Amino acid sequence: MRAFAVRSFGEPASVHDLPVPAADGAVLIRVRFAGVNPLDSNLLGRLTAASSYPFVVGIDFAGVAERVPAGDYGLQDGDRVFGMARTYGSYAEYTAVAPAARMEPVARIPDGLADDQAAALPIPATTALRTVDLLEVTAGQQVVVMGATGGVGGYAVQIALSRGAHVIATVRGDVGEARRLGSGEVYDSQAGDVIDALRAAHPDGVDAVLDLVNGPDAIRRDADVIRPGGRLVSTIFAADEGWFAQRQITARNHASSANPLISPHGLVTVAQMLADGAITARIRSAVDLADAGQVLDELRHGGLRGKAVIRL
């Protein structure tokens, strides 16, 4: 099978011909689309000589279950399925997931939902829904999403809006897209200091901030725009929770390992939100496997608008 992979330590990722995963006891999946996420290149950067090779890039997938092991998994051979393939990767013609593995959920794609849309959901949509839940977003609240037009941010803006929140976006250049998503206010980090602008517009502070972009130093400035009793979530483990607690702000670092939505139930929940029109997948590019490296470069260096998927 063709796969975008690293065959041995130190080699760059590229397209190779690899054996189909043997994967006894796992669901074997013919991949149709792989979803592209920052985590894909982060994991590439963390490979060591002790990692297992070949390393196939990617986690999110949508495709067809070709072989379902015996057991009551709610799946049958031939079902269209989507999910997360952490062991065998997803930028490949085939992947496999152990049906009961905690971090490798797989679920049927609801009727009416296209494969490319399903592939754009697993990591970013379950993360967005979980973080909006952690922020306890309710109607009428003022919620800032920093990095609002990226994979997670785009879904988070839409979910917060569906709960009746007033959504304030910060972006890097992509003002029009944040407005199209329905953000009530948009601040562009390329046009000026967004914290100064937010503080001027909201001197009493906002209720909640979802920070998808700022590291451990920069995120402290979020305290200047959150009201006492407000909430903050970081997806990149940047928030010093004790430091924020001293400022009457409940800060949480969101870890995927603690996300209960990384489960078949969580997958079905976000797919249903897409099917119901509460969220859209915002796929901006669907590329062939040969272009996977280029898409990862664009994601790393910025400017990849909306979601990208790889067509297998």
- Residues in contact with ligand NAP by CB under 6 A are 37-39, 42, 123-124, 127, 146-147, 149-153, 170-173, 189, 212-213, 235-236, 254-256, 299, 302-304
Q: How many CA atoms lie within 13 A of 75 on its CB side?
A: 31
Q: Give the shortest CB-68-to-ligand NAP separation in angstroms.
A: 28
Q: Give the shortest CB-96-to-ligand NAP separation in angstroms.
A: 23
C-alpha 129/C-alpha 264 separation (Å) is 14
Would you say 270 and 129 are in contact if contact means Cβ atoms under 8 Å apart?
yes
Nearer to ligand NAP by C-beta: 64 or 236? Answer: 236
Extract the tokens encoding 247. 């400022």
Nearer to ligand NAP by C-beta: 58 or 153? Answer: 153
Nearer to ligand NAP by C-beta: 189 or 280? Answer: 189
Q: Give the shortest CB-304-to-ligand NAP separation in angstroms.
A: 6
> Torsions phi, psi of 206, nearest 5?
-95, 170
Nearer to ligand NAP by C-beta: 131 or 142? Answer: 131
C-alpha 58/C-alpha 34 separation (Å) is 7
Q: How many CA atoms lie within 13 A of 134 on its CB side?
A: 26
Nearer to ligand NAP by C-beta: 106 or 156? Answer: 156
Q: Give the shortest CB-100-to-ligand NAP separation in angstroms.
A: 21
Q: Give the shortest CB-143-to-ligand NAP separation in angstroms.
A: 15
Dump the DSSP string for 44-87: HHT--TTS-SSEE---EEEEEEEE--SS--S--TT-EEEEE-TT
Nearer to ligand NAP by C-beta: 81 or 171? Answer: 171
Q: Give the shortest CB-212-to-ligand NAP separation in angstroms.
A: 4
Nearer to ligand NAP by C-beta: 173 or 264? Answer: 173
In this structure, the strands spanning 283-288 and 250-253 are unpaired
Q: How far is CA 7 from CA 45, 51, 181, 266, 303, in A?
A: 14, 11, 40, 33, 29
* Residue in the structure block whose two tokens are 């664009």: 298
Residue nearest to ligand NAP (CB): 150
Q: Which amino acid is at 201?
A: A
Q: Give the shortest CB-130-to-ligand NAP separation in angstroms.
A: 8
